[in-house]
Amino acid sequence: MPEQLPDQEHDYKRLRHKIMGYIVAQAIFAVTETGIVELLAAGPAEVGELARGAGVDADALGRFLRVLVAEGLFSEHPHGTFALTPMGDYLRRDRPGSLSHLVTLMAGEAYQAWGMASHSLRTGTPAFDVVFGEPMFDWLAGHPEKSDEFDRAQAGLVAMRMMPLLEWDWSRTRTVVDVGGGNGSLVAALLARNPHLQGTLFDLPHVVKAADTIDRCTMVGGDFFAEVPSGGEVYVLAQILHDWDDHSAVRILRQIATAMPASGQLLVLEQVIPDDDARHPEKLLDLHMLILLGGRERTHSAWRKLLAEGGFQLTDVRRYPRSCLLVATRS
């Protein structure tokens, strides 16, 4: 076999690492789910002490941590003592900007669905339906414990991404409708920060039924493909439209356009895929939406086109570190 050149060896190793990337992701999930990260939040600890505290095997833990030290999430000190790095600190559940919720979402059913990624490549339809026998939201409705877990994880992600909505000037608004608002964490935060606001939380009946009571907020159960509560001054769609293909997303938008007064405003909290060939998390998330739901992330031009087809004119796009806020009015 011909000897490989240094550049070829470098590319070979990089490609091997990418092919085995799911091992890194699942190792992150394992040390997060077993509480290792939270134990290290208190400070550096020896591997045996960590293993006893978490109830795991010390030898196996050392091997897991060795992989994640190389990934920059932990650092290793003499005598088998480990500590969180600044990157690994984002795995703590209690820190601002925590990614622990994302770790949970990317494991479990999502991980299983990715085993059939080639189905989505061949057909353009979600692999989740093939693996679990029905669409993801239908499956969640039939598995209440998983639905609760999903809602909690989504609430955690919303907490990280809602800053554009919290910073929006609500002083001239009296009523806000959160469409597909899940357990109500977003609208609750808006109402707590703006005491003059009245809110409506709209989602599937079983989702709204499980939500906590929120002061100054009306709970409405229904199907946003059929009808949306009318009369709100501002309608919010936070991480909803990326769950759906363009045809379905347009159906949702048209229901909102019908329900909204001519003077109303639509705020869409989503990601916007950059128009370049660089690596970016939104490009990975775009594939994830395809595998799970048949949905997609969108570029700036794709958002403008989608909103126009749904009866809206895109008037502004505000970019933030974790999300973008698209502002639209009825066309």
DSSP three-state, residue 32: helix
180 and 322: one domain? yes
Is 147 within the bounds of a domain? no
CA torsion, points 123, 124, 129, 130, in degrees to nearest 10?
30
pLDDT of res. 282: 92
Last residue within a domain, chosen from 93, 113, 146? 93
| Cα 171 versus chain centre, distance | 29
Mean pLDDT (whole number) for 16-40: 95
61 and 183: one domain? no
Residue 255: C-alpha distances to residues 132, 207, 232, 308 (Å):
30, 20, 13, 14
| CA dihedral sign, ordered 103, 106, 112, 117 | negative
DSSP three-state, residue 293: helix
The one catalytic residue in 79, 242, 247, 300 is: 242
Q: Round to whole Å and give the CA distance between 226 and 286.
A: 26
Residue spans of beta strands (DSSP E) within the chain: 45-46, 74-77, 81-84, 175-179, 198-203, 217-221, 234-238, 265-270, 272-273, 298-299, 312-319, 324-330
Q: Round to whole Å and give the CA distance between 11 and 30.
A: 29
Q: How many separate domains does the chain show?
A: 2
Q: Quote the tokens at residue 187.
A: 């609208």
Residue 232: give its domain's CATH number. 3.40.50.150
Is 88 within the bounds of a domain? yes
Q: Tokens 């190793």 — which residue?
A: 13
Residue 68: C-alpha distances to residues 21, 63, 79, 98 (Å):
12, 9, 17, 18
Q: Round to whole Å and give the CA distance between 327 and 266.
A: 6
pLDDT of res. 4: 61
Last residue within a domain, chosen from 71, 93, 115? 93
Is 269 within the bounds of a domain? yes
CB 238 within 8 A of CB 181: yes
Residues in the chain, total:
331
Residue 327: C-alpha distances to residues 18, 304, 312 (Å):
37, 10, 10
pLDDT surpasses 90 at 8: no
273 pairs with which residues across the strands? 299
Residue 208: C-alpha distances to residues 60, 204, 258, 306, 308 (Å):
42, 6, 22, 28, 30
Last residue within a domain, chosen from 66, 93, 120? 93
206 and 313: one domain? yes
Q: Round to whole Å and give the CA distance between 5 and 12.
A: 10
Q: Tokens 């770790």 — which residue?
A: 103
Q: Give the strand order in the sheet containing 217-221.
A: 217-221, 198-203, 175-179, 234-238, 265-270, 324-330, 312-319
Q: Residue 242 catalytic?
A: yes
- For 135-193, write each residue's pLDDT tens digit: 999 999 899 888 888 877 776 676 667 889 999 999 999 999 999 998 898 999 999 99
Give the structural domain span for 247.
154-330
Q: Tokens 């693996």 — which residue?
A: 131
Is 130 within the bounds of a domain? no
DSSP three-state, residue 27: helix
Mean pLDDT (whole number) for 286-298: 97
Q: Round to whole Å and give the CA distance between 114 and 296.
A: 15
187 and 306: one domain? yes
277 and 183: one domain? yes
Bridging pattern class, strands 234-238 and 217-221 = unpaired
What percentage of the chain carries pLDDT values higher than 90?
Answer: 78
Residue 33: give its domain's CATH number. 1.10.10.10
- For 243-263, write each residue's pLDDT tens digit: 999 999 999 999 999 999 999
Mean pLDDT (whole number) for 271-279: 91
77 and 222: one domain? no
pLDDT of res. 221: 97
pLDDT of res. 147: 84
